[in-house]
Amino acid sequence: MLNINLNGHVAVITGATGELGRSMVRTLSSCGADVAVCYHRAEDRARELVSDAVDKGVRAIAVHTDVTVEESILEMRDQVKATLGDADIIVNNAVIQCYPWLSVLDQPISDYESQYRSCVVHNVLMARAFVPGMMTKDWGRVIAINSECAMQANPGQSAYVSGKRGMDGVLRVLAREVGEHQVTVNQIAPGWMVSDKYRVDGVVSQEEYERSVPLRRRGEDQDIANLVAFLASDLAGFISGQFISVSGGNVMPCI
C-alpha cells in the first residue's frame, strides 16, 4: 500500500483559510507535515485550522501574510523558520479575485494589475523567500494553484486568465532553473470544485457546468488536497514542470 508520509517536512500554505486551502491544511497535517497557515483576513479560521493540526500531533502556526508585498512574505518566512524550521514545501494558493468579470474592452486596468500581483508576483516572491533553503537541502516542493480558466479563456475572464497564464510562465522557467537541486515545481488547475460554502448553501450540483464535464459531476476540494499531498511527497520526486488539470476532463492539456 502506498503511504504519503510527510513527517519531518514543513509546509507553508498561502490562502490557507480559503475554500480549497482549508482542505490542503487538513490533509498535509494528516500526512504528518508541520504547517504554516497563512491568512490575510480570516484570523479566527486560521486559528481553528492550527488547533486542528495540533490535535493531529504536528506543529502549526497561523501567520498573517499579504502575498503581494515582499516585506510581508519575508516576515512570514522568518516567523516560520523561527517556529517550525526551514520550509521545504510551499503551496501558493492565495489569489485576489474581488472584481466583476467584464469584457477586455470594459475591465478596469486596476483589475489586471491586482491579478498580476496575486498570481505572478506572489509566486516570484514565495520562490525567492523559500527556494534558496530548498536548494541548500537538495529537496523541495513548489506547488501552485492555477485554474481550468487558464485553458478555457472564456469571455469575461481576461483579468483572471492573464494572471494565471503569467504565473504559468514563471513557474515553468523556475522548474528548469532549480531542478538540478531536486526542487520540483508543479501547478494544479482545479475545475469548479465543491467546497464548504457550497455544502452549507446546499448548492452542490450545477447541471449546466456538469454537462460539459466528461465525468458529469463536480469534483471535491479533497480532490485538490489529495494531489497537493502527492506532489509534496517523495512519490512525486520525478514530476516537475507540470500543469495538472483536476477538472474531471473538462479541460485537457495537450502534448
Burial track 151-182 (b if 16+ CB lie within 10 A, e otherwise) = beeeeebbbbbbbbbbbbebbbebbeebeeeb
* pTM confidence score: 0.97
Instruction: Give the mean pLDDT of the chain.
Output: 96
Which position among 39, 112, 116, 160 bears the catalytic label? 160
The per-residue pLDDT for 41 is: 93
- CB contact set of 215 (below 8 Å; sequence gap of 6+): 248, 249
Q: What are phi and psi of 12, to 5 degrees?
A: -110, 125
What CATH number was assigned to the domain covering residues 10-246?
3.40.50.720
Of residues 197 and 115, more confidently modeled: 115
Q: Which residue has the cell 465525468?
A: 215
Query: How many angstroms separate the Cα of 37 from the Cα of each of 8, 45, 89, 91?
Result: 17, 10, 13, 10
Summarize the confidence of residues 122-129 as an average pLDDT: 98
Q: How confident is residue 177, by pLDDT bands cut at 50, 70 and 90?
A: very high
14 close to 94: Cβ distance less than 8 angstroms: yes
Q: What are residue 246's DSSP bridge partners? A: 190
The per-residue pLDDT for 201 is: 82
The per-residue pLDDT for 1 is: 66
Catalytic: 160?
yes
> Can you tell me the distance from the alpha carbon of 2 to that of 16, in angstroms, rounded to the nearest whole number?
26
Summarize the confidence of residues 82-111 as an average pLDDT: 96
The per-residue pLDDT for 202 is: 80
Sign of CA dihedral 94, 99, 101, 105: negative
- What's the start-to-end Cα distance of the chain, in Å? 31
Q: Which residue has the cell 512525486?
A: 236
pLDDT in tens, 207-251: 999 999 999 999 999 999 999 999 999 999 999 999 999 999 999
The ranges assigned to domains in the chain are 10-246
User: Order of strands across the sheet with 10-13?
Assistant: 60-64, 34-39, 10-13, 89-92, 140-145, 183-190, 242-246
Summarize the confidence of residues 114-141 as an average pLDDT: 98
Q: DSSP string covering 163-194, please? A: HHHHHHHHHHHHHHHHGGGTEEEEEEEE-S-B
Percentage helix, strand, coil for the chain under 3-state DSSP, each rounded to 5: 45, 15, 40
The per-residue pLDDT for 204 is: 86
Give helix then strand counts, H and E, for the chain: 10, 7
The per-residue pLDDT for 198 is: 85
The per-residue pLDDT for 225 is: 98
- Angle at CA of residue 80, ends 75 and 83, nearest 5°: 125
Q: DSSP string covering 185-219, please? A: EEEEEE-S-B-HHHHHHT----HHHHTTSTTSS--
